[in-house]
Structure formats: C-alpha cells, structure tokens
Amino acid sequence: MKRGTIPAPVHAACRACGTATRVILDLGQSPIANALLIDPAMQPATHRLGLSQCDTCGLVQNLVQLATETLFGGDYPYYSGVSQMVRQHFNDLAGEIAKRSPPGAIALEIGSNDGTMQLALARHGIRCIGIDPAAGPVSLATKAGCKAYCGILDNQMAVRLTQENGLFDIVTLSNVLAHVSEPVALLKHIRDVLQTDGLLVIEVQSWLALVGSGSFDMVYHEHHSHFSLSSLAWALGQAGFGIQMVRNTATQGGSLRVFCRMDASHSPAVQDRIEAERDDISTAPARLHAHFEAFKVSVRAFGKAMRGKSVAGYGAAAKTVTLLASSMGDVTLTCVADRAPSKIGRYLPINGIPIVSPDAMLATRPDAIILFAWNLRDEILPTLRGHDVWVPLPQFARAS
Ligand SMILES: [Zn+2]
C-alpha cells in the first residue's frame, strides 16, 4: 500500500433520504482503522474522518464513504467471541428473542461474524443462519457448526437464502446497520426474506449515548452512520417497518435495541421517546465538538508529563486508531496489547505500533498504560492491578 491522502469525495448527500448534510465534526485524516499492518514500515493511505448531519431525517454519517470491500475484506480482524462481555450480551439478546418467537422458529443473523449470536440462539432453541461479508469470521462460524453464507444481503442473496431455507421468522442485526452504505436499501431487502408476521430485531450504537459520553473514538470509516431513535425510526418507516419496543443497552458505550414488525406503525411509547429526544439531538453536535476540544487539552498535558517515560496501550481496536490519529500525536506508544490472536503480531496502521499479547505488554514494564478499550474496563482493569492505568473516555483520567 502506498502512502498518500486519498481525495475521497465528501459524502454530502444523506445516505438515508438523499438530502444535503452539513459537517458537524472534523477529525482530520486517519487510516482505515481495522486494516492492521503485517509490516510496520508500510505507510497506509489516510482518508478524511469526521461527521455530517442530515437535517431532514436526522441521520449522522461519515464524511467520506469508502468501498465495502476496502473496509470489510476477508482480513477483517474483529471476532465477536473474543470478549466475554460480548458473549454474555448475545446470550441475553437471544433469550429476549426466544421469549417473543414461536416454537421451531428459524432466524437469520445479518453480520453474523464468528457465529457467537448464532450459537447463543441455538442454546435457546432457535436455529439461526448467518450471513457476513468477511470470509475469516464466516469460516470460524462454519467450523463451530453454524450455517453461514459469505456475502451481503442483496436481491440475489435474498433469493438464494429463501430458496435454501424458506422465509425467516426472525431477522437480527447487531451493530450492522451503521456499517452499511445504504441502510434503507438493506432494510428493504430484509422484507424479502422475513415472514409477514416475522420479527426484526436491530441493535445500533446510539448517537445520543455516543455524544453523552463524548466517545468521538467511535467515529471511524467503518461506521458509515450513527443513529438516534428518531433517525432509526425514519429509516425503518421508509422500509415499511414499525418499532414496537425500544430499550437501551450498555454495549458499545450505549446502544438502542428495537423490536420491529412489518407494515406496522411505531408504538405510542416509541413516538413519545422520539419527541423527547428532539432537544438533545439539536445540541449534540456542539456538545461532541466541545468534548473533543477538551480531550485534546487533557492529552497534551498527559503527553508532557510522560515525556521520557514509556507508555503502552491496551486494546488494538478501531477506536484506538481514531484517538491516535485525531488527537494523540504527542503520545508515543511502545506497543499496544490485545487478546485477539488475529491481531497479535501485527501493527496498528498508525506509527507502526506493534500489537502484542497482554503478558508481552506487561513484560515491557510500562510507566503508564492507556486503556483504549475503555468500554471493557470492568473486564480488563482487574488484570492490570498495580499499574498506572489511564482511560481516555469519558474523560482522559487515571483509572483508579
Ligand atoms: Zn437524511
């Protein structure tokens, strides 16, 4: 890969409704966060990173839209099953779906990754077929005994899926809708594979929760869109789905889980919530921008205090790259730890920072550790006792 700045066009039209959007956050240039390097000397291309908002349907979207194949190739290093918290989350979700499903129901999970959710549904008596564009995770799911298709849900795949499996009683998407370039088009394709009285369950990271925690590190090229309940309801309505129930979940720093039915209206409780979030939506861009500015000030002070000392990171996630590229130029990392075997031995696409096992990171005896995977702090912090650990968000601060 050659070094360079790709002049990708700013995606000015809204991906959900097609009207003009306005820029609300500019994080500068960043490489594709999940494209980890095999050779630290490689100089990956960078692309503009930031957000714009549509005033018509409320969707918040990435400034540039990179091709799906570029973002989610067979090398995609994220595997759901690696985190105990993620496994637990899917198990809870599967239980909730099972309560609302008829006996013998068959489900389709879009974005099925390594089959973690498929296995969770199977434990609750629901057979679940998976579909995912990333070959690596799909192969792992297949080895675990799951039936999974490698591809995306388009017209052709909808025909193939229903010919081979019949119509589905349940379709689930967890953290998928934000990653597709045309969310309404995907929702319309779901109509082609779902029974008319079927259940559609969607989880998306919440835009208002992101803003509330100042988590601008959730902005990376793979996240095409950020949904509030309002913009999610708008997109679902365009595809002929109504939200029957919504609940907040803790994943991804705060997410929305919605249960939808075809050819139905949004429930009165959902309508009330949409009305109630109106003010928060209008102030969100200014609040997030202020948080980003405050973060840069804290990091500069940290970088100054750590000059001459060794600092390591924990969590080689996409969000790590966003933080490093947008605002952590003053902090030099010796290495970053991660538990995922698919990442260890590779390098972050910024400054060629090596990714090592947690034990290998601790063996370097760093003076400070930045816990980039701050959303998993309850799981990881106990393993770092006795070390000077800092969390970047919600505030850049010492963890204990
Ligand atoms: Zn729009």
Q: How far is the CA of 233 from the centre of ligand 1 (A)?
A: 12
Backbone angles phi, psi at 69, to 5 degrees: -65, -35
pLDDT at 3: 45
Does any domain span residue 127?
no
Residue 277 CA to ligand 1 center (angstroms) comes to 17
370 neighbors 362 (Cβ within 8 angstroms): no
Ligand 1 centre to CA of 129 (Å) is 32
Q: At what angle do helices 268-276 and 229-238 cross, to 10 degrees?
A: 130
Q: What angle do CA 45, 13, 242 make, to 5 degrees?
A: 115
Q: Residue 222's closest CA among 333, 75, 392, 90?
A: 75
Distance, in Å, from the CA atom of 267 to the CA atom of 275, rounded to the nearest integer, reads 13
pTM of the model: 0.87
In a domain, 182, yes or no: no
The alpha carbon of 56 and the centre of ligand 1 are apart by a number of angstroms equal to: 5
Total structural domains within the chain:
1
Give residue 167 CA to ligand 1 midpoint distance, Å. 30
Domain presence at residue 164: no
| 342 is a domain residue | yes
88 CB-near residues (< 8 Å, 6+ apart): none
Yes or no: say if 79 and 344 are a contact pair by the CB < 8 Å rule. no
335 falls within a domain = yes
Contact 213, 392 (CB under 8 A): no
Please report the pLDDT score of residue 185 as a whole number: 95
Beta bridge partners of 46: 5
Q: According to the model, what pLDDT value does residue 2 have?
A: 40
How close is the Cα of 51 to the center of ligand 1, in Å? 13
The CA 136 to ligand 1 mean position distance, Å, reads 34
| Cα 13 to averaged position of ligand 1 atoms, centre (Å) | 8
CA–centroid distance, 281 to ligand 1, in Å, is 14
Judge contact between 329 and 296, C-beta under 8 A.
no
Tell me if 193 sits within 8 A of 162, measured CB to CB.
yes
Along the 400 residues of the chain, how does pLDDT read in single tens digits?
344 554 555 667 898 898 999 999 999 999 998 889 999 998 898 999 999 999 899 999 999 888 766 675 545 556 666 677 788 889 999 999 999 998 999 999 999 999 999 999 999 999 999 999 888 889 989 999 999 999 999 999 999 999 999 999 999 999 999 988 889 999 999 999 999 999 999 999 999 999 999 999 999 998 899 999 999 999 999 999 999 999 999 887 789 999 999 999 999 999 999 999 999 999 999 999 999 999 999 999 999 999 999 999 999 999 999 999 999 988 999 999 999 998 999 999 999 999 999 999 999 999 999 999 998 889 999 999 999 999 999 899 999 6
Distance 177 CA to ligand 1 centre (A): 15
Q: 75 C-alpha to center of ligand 1: Å?
A: 32
Smallest CA-to-CA distance from 349 within 10, 71, 11 is with: 71
Q: Tell me how far the alpha carbon of residue 55 lies from the centroid of ligand 1, in angstroms.
A: 7
Residue 43 lies in a domain: no
How many angstroms separate the alpha carbon of residue 54 from the centre of ligand 1?
5
Cα 239 to averaged position of ligand 1 atoms, centre (Å): 14
Residue 9, pLDDT score: 54
218: tokens are 């959730």
Gap from CA of 46 to ligand 1 centroid (Å): 27
The pLDDT of residue 335: 98
Cα–Cα distance, 24 to 288 (Å, whole number): 9
Q: Please tell me the distance from the alpha carbon of residue 59 to that of residue 56, in angstroms, as a whole number.
A: 8
**Enclosing domain of residue 386:** 285-398
Residue 202 inside a domain? The answer is no
User: What integer pLDDT is reported at residue 80 of this predicted model?
Assistant: 63
State the residue for tokens 């600092």: 311
Ligand 1 centre from 93 Cα, in Å?
29
Ligand 1 geometric centre to CA of 150 (Å): 30
Ligand 1 mean position to 15 CA, how many Å?
7
Instruction: Give distance in angstroms: CA of 356 to centre of ligand 1.
Output: 42
Cα 213 to middle of ligand 1, angstroms? 24
**CA 210 to ligand 1 centroid distance, Å:** 19
CATH number (domain holding residue 327) = 3.40.50.720
List CB-based neighbours of ion ligand 1 within 5 Å.
Answer: 14, 16-17, 54, 56-57, 59
Residue 386 Cα to ligand 1 middle (Å): 49
Q: How far is the CA of 260 from the centre of ligand 1 (A)?
A: 21
**Within a domain: residue 337?**
yes
Instruction: Report how far residue 276's alpha carbon sits from residue 288's, in angstroms, rounded to the nearest whole number.
Output: 19
The closest alpha carbon to 107, from 127, 124, 125, belongs to 127
Q: Are 34 and 133 in contact (CB under 8 A)?
A: no
Calculate how far, in angstroms, residue 369's C-alpha sits from the geometric centre of ligand 1.
40
The closest of 100, 135, 140 to 119, measured between CA atoms, is 140
Question: How many residues are recorded in the chain?
Answer: 400
